[in-house]
A and B are shown apart, each in its own frame.
Chain A
Amino acid sequence: MNWPFLIYIFVNAAFALLISPFYMSLIKKIKAWTQRRKGPPLFQTYYNIAKLMKKEVVYSSNSSWIMRTTPYANMIAVLAAAMFVPLAFVPQGFDGVGNIILFVYLLAVARFFMALSGLDAGSTFGGMGSSREMSLSAIIEPTTIVVFAALAFTFKTTNLHEIFTETAKFPAFVMNPSLFLISIPLFLVIIVETARVPVDNPETHLELTMIHEAMILEQSGRNLALMELSSAVKQTLLTGVLVNVLMPWGLATEFTLQAILFSMLAFFAKAAAISIIIGLFESALAKIRLFLLPHIFMLAFFLSVLAILLEVF
């Protein structure tokens, strides 16, 4: 552990925190445009978070310490996961961080706490959301692991830092078409993990259809702001994996201010492009029947297994 590494951790996390809310609004804007509405301002999510930060937190009288800890546990888990995904600068020569499996399970920790807090308040919808989230994650988790395993097979390493270093040297998909195959499951993982159409509907007010939203229905004020911010960061991290594997142009591996600033700008633009695709994808689809969701996961699973087979043989 040394100074440059601490700076990397801090800057990477701060960068993720700073840009993440923008993409939430951007997706909303894109969806609004497809509906021929004006949509919210691009900075609306920042305003919302700022507003929620100032509001008081209300706890249900049934709730325990879980309700109080979850927002922080969530944020910490997601920020720890941020260490594993260099967004704009890949530090060299640091071992111990970047393990892709650990990354997946750090996100699972966040999910675990969220599900517990959904149950904790004792409201019907929270319990329903938690139950759905847990049943779905039991199905999606193996798929996510296989998707990342495919990535690991392609690059012969399970370390995201090493993968990104590799891709930063030259866009790897030129050499390796199986990355195209992996990009689709990676995209689906983003959709599933961030609770978007056709899996879940982030915009709905219908409690009975909610999955993710149902779990955070009882959250309020600063705690809700933290929950929203951590899901935004989670989305940015997953987008980061996709962006830096598939479109690594401009990704900095040298520690120079100029290179890093350029890389940040490039990442911002590339992640925005992915967000636009997510917005269009959400608009084009309707939410599928709850019990048919495994079909989507199967698609991701199938393509990842295909990628692994291509790499092995």
Chain B
Amino acid sequence: MASPEILTSLKGTECLKTAFPGNNSEIYAPVDEAEFPAIIDALANDGCVLISLFCAQNFEGRKGLALFYAFERRGCENILVLMRSAKGSKATSVAQKFPSACWFEREVSDGFGIEFEGAFDNRRLFLHEVYPEDFHPLLKETPNKKIKLREKIPAESEYQFKPMNGEGVYQIPVGPVHAGIIEPGHFRFSVIGEPISNLEVRMFYKHRGVEKLAEGKTPEECVKIAEAISGDETVANSVAFCMAVEKISGAKIPARADRLRAVLLEMERIYSLLGDVAGMAVDIAFASGASPFFILREEILRQNANLTGSRFMKGIVGIGGLKKDVPENELRNLSSYLKTFPKLFKEAHDSVLSSTISVDRFDRTGLVEKRLVSPLNLTGPIARASGVQIDNRKDRPYGAYQSFKPRVKIMDGGDVLSRFEVKSHEILESVNLIQKILKDLPEGPVSSNFKISDGFCLSTVEAPRGQNLHWVYIKDGVVDRYKVRTASFCNWQAIEHAVIGNIVPDFPLINKSMNLSYAGTDL
């Protein structure tokens, strides 16, 4: 095979010889246990980023558990997936070299019972204390049904937050039940007065078992599951899932469907990011500054309903394209509505930033340093606001993005203000992209029929919050393993770093400037 850039780190290793290309420009490389540490070192030295780590059982006829390490190299289209078998449910941890592995490994530990040796954090992740000790839901032998939860939790199994000691250190527990109508998440602050010394985020209070639910279902049925991963990333996730299935079968989808998918993806980005910028204004108590954004968001949601019959665009994306065509007159309405949009948006944007108080609140608040982006695999607007040029639409173009490239704005600040600016830019750029796509939208069918074949594929999309990664493994016509890694899952780590040194009342603003999805984390 040709030697893509991502493989340079594997030079001279045995596993390079056995590497084989996947269905979607990813490269699988089975690794021998003896060679594994050297390869991890080489990848770390070359600045590769661990973007996901997942596990599959009885993969391609091999008994037992196989671990998949997905690596990305900046500016390189291919993703390298190291395959490693976890013999005896034990494996060495890579979290020291790749900190983003911390949550990944804990997730795999909970799901499959693999013990990672040498990890700096071995606590449970998505299985809270109430689940019994030997329960590992993603193992094939665990049936997908109700289990008996522990009634009494022994003291030693209780979740231990990282202690912080010292005079005047005080812990503030916040959540998982909040005063507003928001999703559940627990934030444990260690503070001295108002400044935050440490924050630990604990999620997964509403873990739904999405990955287990998908197993044994036909790919068509799974589209609904993908849509339900996170409400405001419906299109992104369903498109990512469908793309994976289409690539496995080697199917091509009609050009009209490809373009319309991009329109819907960008519509989703617009309303999702509009909510973010509005939320930032609300959180500094600037309600009159936020309301124009909310009005625009509502108008976009109504456009969505006109286009697809659903405000959140559920039930339109299907395997092979779209489940139904979008009415031509609604597309024309959308195009003319979007002509008025930028002016209104810029007015709203300027009114927020013309207030010295809001600029003061945004400026240098919640700093995400650039050096954190790769080790923690931060993605999306957060990474772009910290000066890193990544956007899955440009780096690994898919669908219509192969011909329609967004202009990506990079800010160096890493603070709330930078994120506000990056998100604002992306809203306008999405409007731009939609207009370009609508200008020469080809006629024709929106769906192609094909037989779904068995196989596996990794697909990535740029959701509003960053890169979402889906890995689908179809065996005997049904989904055998479905792994989803959303942008939120990784980006929660950013918040733990961003708040340090800030004061407690600034936390909601920092949180909103990232606006991560809890549902997208509690899969």
Chain A residues close to B by CB (< 8 Å)? 31, 34-37, 124, 128, 197-198, 201, 203-209, 217, 283-292
Contacts and interface: CB of A to CB of B under 8 A. Distances in A.
Given A128-B504, A288-B360, A290-B503, A204 B178 contact: no
Contacts, number: 78
Nearest to A284: B288
Nearest to B355: A286
Given A201-B285, A217-B179, A285-B286, 4 more contacts: A124-B174, A203-B285, A286-B286, A287-B286
Contact of B357 (A124, A198, A201, A204): A198
Contact of B361 (A208, A217, A286): A286
B179 A286 contact: no
B505 A286 contact: no
Contact of B283 (A206, A207, A292): A206
Contacts of A36: 291, 295
B318 to A, nearest CB: 38
B500 to A, nearest CB: 15
Interface string B483-516: 0000000000000000000011111100000000
B287 interface: yes
Contact of B287 (A31, A206, A291, A292): A31
A287 B194 CA distance: 17
Contact of B285 (A37, A128, A198, A291): A198
B305 interface: no
A197 B285 contact: yes
Contact of A207 (B179, B286, B360, B506): B179
A203 B291 CA distance: 15
Nearest to A35: B291
B358 interface: yes
A168 to B, nearest CB: 37
Contact of A203 (B173, B287, B355): B287
16 contacts: A31-B288, A35-B287, A198-B285, A201-B285, A205-B178, A207-B179, A209-B283, A283-B287, A284-B288, A285-B286, A285-B355, A288-B360, A288-B361, A289-B360, A289-B361, A290-B505
Contact of A124 (B172, B180, B285, B287): B172
A205 B288 CA distance: 17
B240 interface: no
A283 B286 CA distance: 7
A286 B172 contact: no
A288 B174 contact: no
A264 B9 CA distance: 84
A198 B355 CA distance: 12
B289 interface: yes
A264 to B, nearest CB: 32
Contact of A208 (B288, B291, B355, B505): B505
A236 B77 CA distance: 66
Of the candidates A198, A286, A288, the one having the most CB atoms from chain B within 10 angstroms of its own CB is: A286
Interface string B50-92: 0000000000000000000000000000000000000000000
Q: Which 5 A-B pairs have the closest CB atoms?
A: A205-B180, A286-B286, A35-B291, A287-B285, A201-B285
Given A198-B285, A284-B288, A286-B285, A207 B357 contact: no
Given A208-B504, A208-B507, A286-B289, A128 B361 contact: no
A287 B357 contact: yes
Contacts of B290: 35
B284 interface: yes
Contacts of A290: 194, 503, 505
B281 interface: yes
Given A36-B291, A197-B285, A291 B503 contact: yes
Interface of B: 172-174, 178-180, 194, 281, 283-291, 295, 355, 357-358, 360-361, 503-508
Nearest to A200: B285
A206 B179 contact: yes
A30 B173 CA distance: 35
B174 A207 contact: yes
B172 A205 contact: no
A292 B194 CA distance: 13
A208 B291 CA distance: 22
B180 A128 contact: no
A181 B295 CA distance: 40
B266 to A, nearest CB: 26
A186 to B, nearest CB: 22
A286 B174 contact: no
Contacts of B508: 206, 208-209
Nearest to B284: A286
Contacts of B505: 208-209, 290
A30 to B, nearest CB: 10
A141 to B, nearest CB: 20
Of the candidates B283, B285, B503, the one having the most CB atoms from chain A within 10 angstroms of its own CB is: B285
A197 B361 CA distance: 14
B172 A128 contact: yes
A291 B504 CA distance: 11
Contacts of B281: 286
Given A36-B291, A204-B285, A285 B504 contact: no
Contacts of A35: 287-288, 290-291
Contacts of A201: 285
Contacts of A205: 178-180
Nearest to B175: A207
A197 B282 CA distance: 12
A288 B363 CA distance: 12
Contacts of B361: 286-289
Contacts of B358: 286
A204 B290 CA distance: 14
Contacts of B283: 206, 209
A109 B358 CA distance: 34
B324 to A, nearest CB: 35
Contacts of B172: 124, 128, 208
A306 B283 CA distance: 35
A206 B284 contact: no
Nearest to B506: A289
A280 to B, nearest CB: 9
A31 B286 CA distance: 10
Contacts of B360: 288-289, 292
B20 to A, nearest CB: 51
Contacts of A209: 283, 285, 505, 508
A123 to B, nearest CB: 10
A63 B439 CA distance: 66
Nearest to A205: B180
A2 to B, nearest CB: 48
A205 B507 CA distance: 13
A204 B194 CA distance: 19
A285 B281 CA distance: 11
Nearest to B187: A208
Contacts of A285: 286, 355, 357
Of the candidates B172, B174, B288, the one having the most CB atoms from chain A within 10 angstroms of its own CB is: B288
Of the candidates A198, A206, A291, the one having the most CB atoms from chain B within 10 angstroms of its own CB is: A206
B178 A207 contact: yes
A197 B195 CA distance: 22
Contact of A34 (B180, B288, B507): B288
Contacts of A124: 172-174
